[in-house]
Amino acid sequence: AQKVTQAQTEISVVEKEDVTLDCVYETRDTTYYLFWYKQPPSGELVFLIRRNSFDEQNEISGRYSWNFQKSTSSFNFTITASQVVDSAVYFCALRPASGGSYIPTFGRGTSLIVHP
């Protein structure tokens, strides 16, 4: 069985602060994909990134960066110099890469509030 844990229910920061959203996962699959999605107040989840289990390179995209550590089963997401527009609920998800069901499992989400 797969499981994704986002222990932080809500995080509140002031604009320009750096913030890290934690994601810890459990799976018996040897190959899998990890994802982050953003859900702004409008409700629609927006894809941010996909990471393959065999690629542990960290990734940076503008103010966003992702730290994948297979040894600790974590896929953390950092926003540098946060902005009010970053306020949203962020979901981490896990999906097998082969065999059986290709249905992703989502964490419970972390609500990020960025104050001006």
Query: Contact positions toward another protein, by CB under 8 A?
Result: 6, 9, 33, 35, 37, 42-47, 50, 91, 95, 97, 102-104, 106-109
Write down the least CB distance from residue 113 to another protein, Å: 15
Other Cβ atoms within 10 Å of 64 Cβ, number = 16
Q: What are phi and psi of 47, to 5 degrees?
A: -65, 135
Pick 51 or 86: Cβ nearer another protein: 51
Write down the least CB distance from residue 33 to another protein, Å: 5
Contact between 32 and 53 under an 8 Å Cβ cutoff? The reply is yes
Write down the least CB distance from residue 87 to another protein, Å: 16
Pick 17 or 104: Cβ nearer another protein: 104
What is 34-102 written as a DSSP string?
A: EEEEEE-TT---EEEEEEETT----EEETTEEEEEEGGGTEEEEEESS--GGG-EEEEEEEEESSSS--
Write down the least CB distance from residue 107 to another protein, Å: 6
Pick 79 or 89: Cβ nearer another protein: 89
Contact between 56 and 73 under an 8 Å Cβ cutoff? The reply is no
Pick 2 or 78: Cβ nearer another protein: 2
